[in-house]
Chains A and B, each alone.
Chain A
Amino acid sequence: MAAGLLTLLAALSLFVTSRPDPGTYFFIDDLNIAFIVLNTFVGFTTSVFSASYIAHELETGRLNSANIRFYHAMYQVMMFGMNLAFVSNNVGLMWVAVELATLTTVLMVGIYRTSEALEAAWKYFILGSVGIAFALFGTILVYMVAQPLIGEGQDAMVWTILVEHAPDFDPALLNVAFVFLLLGYGTKVGLAPLHAWLPDAHAEGPTPISAVLSGLLLNVALYAVLRFKILLAANPGAIAPGPLMMTMGLVSLIFAAFMLYGRRDIKRLFAYSSIEHMGIIVFAFGLGGPLANFAGLLHMVMHSLTKSAIFFAVGHISQVKGTQKLAEIRGLTVTHPGLGWGLVVGVAAIIGVPPFGIFMSEFLVVSSTFALQPLLAVPLAFGLLVAFGALLLRLTEVAFGEPMGSLAPVKASYAPMFIHLALVLTAGVYLPPPLVSWFQHIAILLG
């Protein structure tokens, strides 16, 4: 927790200190500051949440103290991996960092050692490894593209240098590279049809990990995709990455929206909702242009905050009710008003109703779609509506109606959840101009 706070402070200091020149291994620009600040903030609040969550797990004997030491160690390694991925200027190093973060989460997903947890971790691991392989192959290809122009050695993997030379790269090979990178990192983002690991990993691991997975790890992978997208966008001869990303985004959105209906496990439900939102974000970035990129960024931030808040609530709910099955949780607003209304507010935010930030970003996504690809707005709106219906249906059952299940009071701090929700609420009503201009700058950077 302390470490989390420290890194958060360090991240915030990035705003004030002057930026170091890009080195061979590390660099800082607007894009990664945005990700880092979000990452460290959610990482910090999650560690606050996990303190009370894990304490409860220890009490109920689901985990022993050795597990917990392992858990906390892995948590820090994972945070390190993610931040490393953000600051690395070397595509190879970035790859290593992403994989580091992935592998640690694999271990944490399997921490309960139940057959379900092991199964989820195994699936995560196998699919993740294939993703790793694809991403590495893509990275090698990028090097191969760059090597004739930049020369052998380190420089051909340094992102800042790659971008400079991108216009002259061989477009055809770059295309192949992007296919592999998109599939490789896209597996981590959880894009359909590469998403299979995501719902199970969310459902069977400890809830703080679910929060971090949805709120952060997906972003890390997305960050990687975006970096390479910039590369591709800079090359006029290459295929536009947009249509590819838009297709995958839309498929993810609509697919996940329908999948939401069949869910019986509350964490798996919100895991699918993460797939859905990742679909929207990737769609927005695929659309391109300042407005859509802005919307995508905003949506990403809002989704991270909201989804982790929801998982905070869900964690306590499953602890207090002793189950994750949706059918066994009823009338939460009656039995546990704080948690219940927290969940209601969180879900209201995630399904995109005002006054929450996701409404604004969805408004921007849909409307910029209209501006650029009017016909795509219809399936987009359709997917949003289907997902809306599913989540609201489950929310109505869980939060309202005759209460069911344990009435035991919750021993938990609501602070992380409500801080997140308050931020989302504020963003929905008022975005501070500096933040806006900063995001706009990034949006232009993303092309």
Chain B
Amino acid sequence: MTGSIGLLLGCIAVLLATAILAIGLGRSGRATQVIYGVTAAISAVALVAALTQLLDALHDNSTLTLPLGLPWIGANFRLDMLSAFFLVVVNLGGGVASLFGLGYGTHETTPGRVLPFFPAFLAGMNLVVLADDAFAFLFAWEFMSLSSWALVMAHHREPGNARAGYIYLVMASFGTLALLLAFGLLAGPDGGYAFEMIRAVEHKSLVVALVLGLMLLGAGSKAGLVPLHVWLPLAHPAAPSHVSALMSGVMTKVAVYGFIRVIFDLVGEPNWWSSIIVMFIGGATAVFGILSALMERDIKRLLAYSTIENIGVIFVSLGLALAFEANGMRLAAALALTAALFHVLNHAFFKSLLFFGAGAVLTATGERDMERLGGLIHRMPVTSVVFLVGCFAISALPPLNGFASEWLVFQAILQSPDLPQFGLKLMVPAVGGMLALAAALAAACFIKVYGTVFLGRPRSAAAIEAREVDHFSLAAMSILASLCLLAGMFPGLVVDALSPVANSLVGSGLPRQAEIAWLSLVPIAESRSSYNGLLIFAFVALSAWLAVFFIHSFASRAVRRGPAWGCGLPSLSADMQYSGDSFAQPIRRVFGQLAFRAHEEIDMPAPGDMRAARLTVTMRDIVWDSIYAPIVRGVRFVAKRLNGLQFLTIRRYLSIVFAALVTLLLVLALWA
């Protein structure tokens, strides 16, 4: 099947050509439509090609080598099950984002800074997934970083964005160097950079451990694992919203792909203890990410933090898969891996949807600060519905898709008693508790988002005058919302599609689900556990309909409008509503001290004093304070110290030269 890989590479070439075309089109008014139109079409083609590969019964891999890149190995590309799955994620996200961009892009103030890089970014992500040698992989990886950096810098005049871009690219480069070292270890002294060669070699256990550590640094920094996540809540919100959606929904998944590709595909047998590290980091990431999200006021930053949480969930699941694989429990490993991949897909769906929604709100009101929004459910009827679907899905509640994948993760956790190692036995339930905590907090977080932004009464003039957004944006969001719903109702079909992927990585897939009665999801055995999203949905819908039907037919259906109860106060101003911050306050009191060193200060005037009372809350970013701030200080200190060398006298410089000479001569004299 060289055809489909050729087709995919062709798509990438067209995307790159589109990027160049975008430079050429410049300020032309049609540029936005042309570029996004082309990217949408190309993504659709690539999506079909990838889906064909994924659902193809033969599951044959195809490879292609182009005479580009490193001269003696060329640029190798390979389309297998894993890359096909991630291509689906990438191109689905890309296609929908393009569709959204068709409408959203017309509001762009500086299209010249977005249009050339958008197709390039898509091309970069596609290339990463297709790459089959270390050079092509890193090339595409870094190209993806660079083009997304340019997109982050699109609105460079807004305060903070330049810093966001800076931190982003430095962290990306850090990640790339870590990956480079990992590949260097894997390739060995002979420079076998083709993945085919890496796969063929039996790696030492030390190498495997080091590679895992480096991959956690490399892929983890791109995916946003704590404590390497600092760039993410800065960079994702800075980009235009459809790009934020791509970065959060898709690019972090490409990082996950990198991790899976190297750890599951290239390295071979993992160490069991390494899975503890992965799981623990994943669990910590999930909890810390969602807690940070809860404390946020900026809707896009909140969504970015929530991405960190979901990445944590995915890594917990990957860690489980590693633990099972190390102990030869293939079916359980397949379950955990499938859960991770399913969550990858789901997160791409709902996080893109939510970012689109945030973009729509931004278009309609110009606001990202949730405390200045409210009541949009009346002004933006369609957006409010699809956004609700997104919130519901990301909160891991049945019957939507977020629950289906988290349920699979929990099922995988429940397989852990069979693991022989004591460390794992003790670790896994604790991680499970962390995941449950994260899931519950996620629900709280998205109640806060939806409640503050769409419900209640508008808190600013901009929110009062909001208008529903254009049809392209709505179409993009509706597609994703229906995908959330479909994946939630038919999880079995998704699991079946993922089965060959798991099979190619851990040597086993989950049992076929499509034949099970009522399309239930039964990962291991029916006596152990099963779940049927379709039936749950049907039952709830039916019961609700029954209730409505009976009550409306046999009881009352009269409605009267009246003012809300305000404790007897004459007029309730919009400021008297519960705000997002106050919503999060109880949770802040529970976890804030630990996670943010939160500190509340109340300035209460003495009785009789007419001064307003003030409540000041200070929160610290402990990750930044304890890791990055010392690094920054260290670099500054060293730079400042060394900088003195710029201002020496010529005589002193000569002294240095002299000293170097004498030292070398001394070495020679002593050595000889």
**Chain A residues engaging chain B, CB cutoff 8 angstroms:** 122-123, 126-127, 130, 134, 172, 175-176, 179-180, 183, 187, 193-194, 196-197, 199, 239, 244, 255, 258-262, 291, 331, 333-334, 348, 351, 353-355, 359-360, 363-364, 366-372, 374, 377-378, 381, 384-386, 388-390, 392-393, 396-397, 400-402, 429-431, 433, 436
Contacts and interface: CB of A to CB of B under 8 A. Distances in A.
Contacts of B166: 392-393, 396
B157 A368 contact: no
| Of A360, A367, A374, A430, most B-chain CB atoms within 10 Å | A367
A367 B191 contact: yes
26 contacts: A130-B654, A175-B668, A176-B668, A179-B661, A183-B661, A196-B648, A258-B643, A259-B642, A262-B640, A291-B191, A360-B135, A360-B139, A367-B183, A370-B181, A370-B184, A381-B181, A385-B170, A385-B174, A389-B635, A392-B169, A396-B162, A396-B163, A400-B157, A401-B157, A402-B157, A430-B67
A353 B145 contact: yes
A354 B146 contact: yes
Q: Which 5 A-B pairs rank lowest in CB-CB distance, beginning with the nearest?
A: A370-B184, A262-B643, A261-B639, A400-B156, A196-B653
Q: Which of A134, A359, A370, A436 has the most CB of B within 10 A?
A: A370
Given A258-B635, A259-B639, A402-B157, A366 B170 contact: no
A436 to B, nearest CB: 4
Interface of B: 67-72, 113, 134-135, 138-140, 142-143, 145-146, 153, 156-157, 162-163, 165-166, 169-170, 173-174, 177, 180-181, 183-185, 187-191, 193, 635-636, 638-640, 642-643, 645-646, 648, 650, 653-654, 656-657, 660-661, 664-665, 668, 671-672
B650 A123 contact: yes
A123 B70 contact: no
B532 to A, nearest CB: 47
A386 B646 CA distance: 18
Contacts, number: 168
Nearest to B157: A402
A436 B153 CA distance: 36
B19 to A, nearest CB: 11
B543 to A, nearest CB: 56
B546 to A, nearest CB: 60
Nearest to B639: A261
Nearest to B172: A353
B654 A126 contact: yes
B581 to A, nearest CB: 30
A369 B185 CA distance: 11
Contacts of B668: 175-176, 179
B180 A367 contact: yes
A348 B650 contact: no
A239 B70 contact: no
A140 to B, nearest CB: 16
Contact of A400 (B162, B640, B671): B162
Contact of B639 (A258, A333, A359, A431): A258
A333 B133 CA distance: 35
A389 B634 CA distance: 13
Contact of B657 (A183, A259, A351): A183
A397 B163 CA distance: 9
Interface centre among B68, B163, B169, B193 (most CB of A within 10 A): B169
A355 B138 CA distance: 11
Nearest to A370: B184
A430 B72 CA distance: 12
Contacts of B183: 367
Contacts of A378: 181
A429 B660 contact: no
Contact of A127 (B72, B138, B191, B653): B653
Contacts of B657: 127, 130, 183, 187, 193-194
A348 B163 CA distance: 17
Secondary structure type dominating chain A contacts = helix
Contacts of B135: 360, 363
Nearest to A193: B656
Contacts of A389: 170, 173, 635
Nearest to A368: B191
A364 B142 CA distance: 15
Contacts of A333: 113, 156
Nearest to A291: B191
A138 to B, nearest CB: 11
B139 A433 contact: no
Nearest to A298: B71
B654 A261 contact: no
Contacts of A374: 184-185
B405 to A, nearest CB: 33
Nearest to A437: B71
Given A176-B668, A430-B67, A258 B638 contact: yes
A442 to B, nearest CB: 14
Contacts of A255: 642
Contact of A331 (B157, B187, B650): B157
A363 B68 CA distance: 15
A183 B656 CA distance: 12
B161 to A, nearest CB: 8
A353 B184 contact: no
B206 to A, nearest CB: 11
A353 B661 CA distance: 37
B138 A363 contact: yes
Nearest to B150: A344
A97 B72 CA distance: 37
B660 A183 contact: yes
A262 B142 contact: no
Given A331-B157, A359-B142, 5 more contacts: A179-B664, A260-B639, A360-B135, A392-B166, A429-B68
Contacts of B140: 354
Contact of B173 (A291, A360, A388): A388
Contacts of A386: 635
A134 to B, nearest CB: 7
A134 B661 contact: yes
A187 B658 CA distance: 12
A259 B664 contact: no
B636 A126 contact: no
B162 A401 contact: yes
Contact of B184 (A183, A258, A367): A367
A381 B218 CA distance: 13
Contacts of A134: 661
Contacts of B165: 396, 400
A179 B635 contact: no
A361 B608 CA distance: 74
B23 to A, nearest CB: 9
Contacts of A176: 665, 668
Contacts of B174: 385
The interface centre, meaning the residue of A183, A259, A353 with most chain B CB atoms within 10 A of its CB, is: A353
A164 B250 CA distance: 60
A401 B181 contact: no
B361 to A, nearest CB: 26
A331 B190 CA distance: 46
Contact of A372 (B169, B189, B193): B189
Given A127-B654, A239-B671, A368-B191, A261 B665 contact: no
Contacts of B157: 331, 334, 400-402
Task: Name the residue among B185, B635, B653 with the largest chain A CB count within 10 angstroms.
Answer: B653
B205 to A, nearest CB: 16
B190 A371 contact: yes
Select the residue from A291, A389, A390 with max chain B CB neighbours within 10 A.
A389
Nearest to B632: A389
A127 B71 contact: no
The residue in A180, A355, A364 that gathers the most chain B C-beta atoms within 10 A of its C-beta is A355
A402 B157 CA distance: 6
Contacts of B173: 351, 353, 385, 388-389
Contacts of B180: 363, 366-367, 381
Contacts of A197: 653
Contact of A371 (B188, B648, B656): B188
